[in-house]
Amino acid sequence: MINKLSALLKAANIFLTDRQKEQLTGYVELLHKWNKAYNLTSVRDPQQMLVRHIMDSIVVEPYLEGSRFIDVGTGPGLPGVPLAIVRPEAHFTLLDSLGKRIRFLKQVQHELKLENIDPVQSRVEVFPAEPPFDGVISRAFASLNDMLSWCHHLPGEKGRFYALKGVVPQDEIDALPAGFTHHKTVKLLVPELEGERHLVVINPQNLAASSAD
């Protein structure tokens, strides 16, 4: 599996240490093992997990600004666990309302010795952001409107929202609620993945007003 991952990383121009590659494949092995009983993902083939889960997550890393992130509706830890592995100096809170997913993530944390993740079972609306986060990340979690409505209290003064999407959700971007502005949309290139992938970055109004970028 390491060889397959190395080939995918090379195709994406991503350079990782051997230790990081071992942690990423170790995560896939745990996901594959636990999936049989916990039904954590519809992807059954570990080779496909490398493409559709690992690569699909880590291509976002260059666009994240800050060091404290929260992955809302993380499910089995996507994209939070792969991102935490490739950005070890940052911290990722992994939030999900289902206990079985958090149990799995605590096992991942233990077995892979990941000290920069914090799996938390909670509904996002009631989770206190203390201190606030630099980035709020979601992947296949909800519409932009719902994400902003449920997560508006989570980012700090310079925090941003990062939504991982398939095709550009232009109708959702055009219908952003008051208090938020569209910062940019980035086309993501994921080797061997069918279909489009985009990252939509949203600013709270106070950040948009104070930042010219």
Binding-site entries for S-adenosyl-L-methionine: 73, 78, 124-125, 139
Residue in 77, 87, 72 with CA at minimum distance from that of residue 49 = 77
Q: Count of alpha carbons within 13 Å of 212, Cβ hemisphere only? A: 0
For residue 66, the one-letter residue type is: G
Give dist(CA 42, CA 49) in Å, integer.
10
For residue 179, the one-letter residue type is: G
Residue in 73, 81, 34 with CA at minimum distance from that of residue 56 = 81
Known binding residues = 73, 78, 124-125, 139
CA 140 to chain centre: 10
DSSP type of residue 42? S
Question: Strands across the sheet with 68-72, in order?
Answer: 117-121, 91-96, 68-72, 133-139, 155-165, 198-204, 180-187
Element spanning 49, H or E: helix 46-49
